[in-house]
């Protein structure tokens, strides 16, 4: 059984999710329960689910405009896609996950939470996935791959003028420098490091944002 006190949304979560706080708490139940038993979340992460995972992802909502279509690749346990869907019900979110057990988990969670989120099983780089969910306004990800590979997988899914919004750690700026050529090669330019949740979180969430300015090539 999950610890009831730990489940209760902290004040910051209530501020972010508002009337949807109970939905976020139900998602916490899934992460603390089935996600752990199925190996999607480490058991040691349970005490940190709110700050390290749910809230940390939800503040990326600052990077989204009203009504945008968002594709979350390598979604795993639904991060950042599900917290974003709860915090920003105005955006249209699709979770892309290649592993069957994870995709099944996501389908169960989405159905239980009653949120308008699509789950698609497959790899972002597959032609069938590009055809099905491509032309997105935004492609998000969290801890999926180094920036060069992440850009290669994400760019074909992004419409011209759309954006990559990749959650990264403190080495984001270094990754941008290291992979600048590879990222530009697939049509993503104007990369910047952005902090989300400034003034809310003790340590803001770091994202790399880039714009797709031309057709992306494949190699």
Instruction: Judge whether residue 216 has pLDDT over 90.
Output: no
Percent of the chain at pLDDT > 70 equals 95
- Bridge-based pairing of strands 158-168 and 205-212 is antiparallel
Structural Rg of the chain based on CA atoms? 17
- Bridge-based pairing of strands 117-121 and 188-196 is unpaired
- Reported as a single tens digit per residue, the pLDDT across 92-139 is 999 999 999 999 999 999 999 999 999 999 999 999 999 999 999 999
At 3 the pLDDT is: 57
Instruction: Identify the band that residue 2 occupies on the pLDDT scale cut at 50, 70 and 90.
Output: very low
Strands in 98-187 per DSSP E:
117-121, 136-142, 158-168
In this structure, of 87-96, 99-108, 172-181, the range with the lowest mean pLDDT score is 172-181
Instruction: Identify the band that residue 6 occupies on the pLDDT scale cut at 50, 70 and 90.
Output: confident
Tell me the domain boundaries of the chain: 4-212
* Angle ∠(130,132,133) on CA atoms, nearest 5: 70
pLDDT, average across residues 87-95: 98
* Alpha-carbon 168 to chain mean position: 11
pLDDT, average across residues 50-57: 96
Q: Is 199 left (phi over 0), alpha (psi -120 to 50) or beta?
A: left
Phi and psi angles of residue 208, each rounded to the nearest 5 degrees, phi first? -105, 125
- Reported as a single tens digit per residue, the pLDDT across 127-161 is 999 999 999 999 999 988 999 999 999 999 999 99
Q: Is 150 left (phi over 0), alpha (psi -120 to 50) or beta?
A: alpha
**4-212: in CATH 3.40.50.150:** yes
Exposure of 181 in the CB half-sphere (CA atoms within 13 A): 1
The CB density around residue 149, as the number of other CB atoms within 10 Å, is: 13
**Whole-number mean pLDDT of the chain?**
93
The 3 state secondary structure assigned to 201-215 is: CCCCEEEEEEEECCC
The model carries a pTM of 0.93
Q: Is 52 left (phi over 0), alpha (psi -120 to 50) or beta?
A: alpha
Instruction: Name which of 53, 55, 52, 83 is nearest 70 in CA terms.
Output: 83
Instruction: Judge whether residue 183 has pLDDT over 90.
Output: yes
């Amino acid at each position: 059984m999950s610890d009831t006190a730990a489940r209760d949304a902290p004040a910051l979560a209530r501020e972010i999710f508002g009337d949807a706080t109970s939905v976020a708490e139900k998602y916490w139940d899934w992460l603390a329960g089935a996600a752990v038993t199925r190996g999607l979340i480490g058991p040691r992460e349970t005490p940190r689910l709110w700050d390290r995972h749910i809230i940390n992802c939800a503040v990326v909502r600052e990077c989204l405009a009203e009504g945008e279509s968002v594709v979350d690749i390598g979604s795993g346990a639904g991060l950042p896609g599900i917290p974003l869907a709860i915090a920003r019900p105005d955006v249209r979110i699709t979770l892309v996950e290649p592993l069957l057990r994870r995709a099944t988990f996501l389908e169960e969670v989405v159905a239980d939470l009653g949120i308008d989120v699509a789950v698609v099983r497959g790899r972002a780089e597959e032609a069938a996935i590009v055809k099905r969910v491509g032309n997105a306004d935004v492609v998000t990800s969290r801890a999926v791959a180094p920036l060069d590979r992440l850009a290669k997988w994400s760019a074909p899914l992004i419409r011209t003028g759309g954006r990559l919004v990749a959650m990264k750690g403190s080495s984001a700026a270094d990754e941008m420098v290291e992979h600048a050529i590879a990222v530009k090669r697939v049509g993503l330019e104007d990369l910047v490091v952005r902090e989300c949740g400034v003034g809310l979180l003790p340590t803001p969430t770091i994202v790399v944002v880039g714009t797709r300015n031309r057709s992306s090539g494949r190699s």
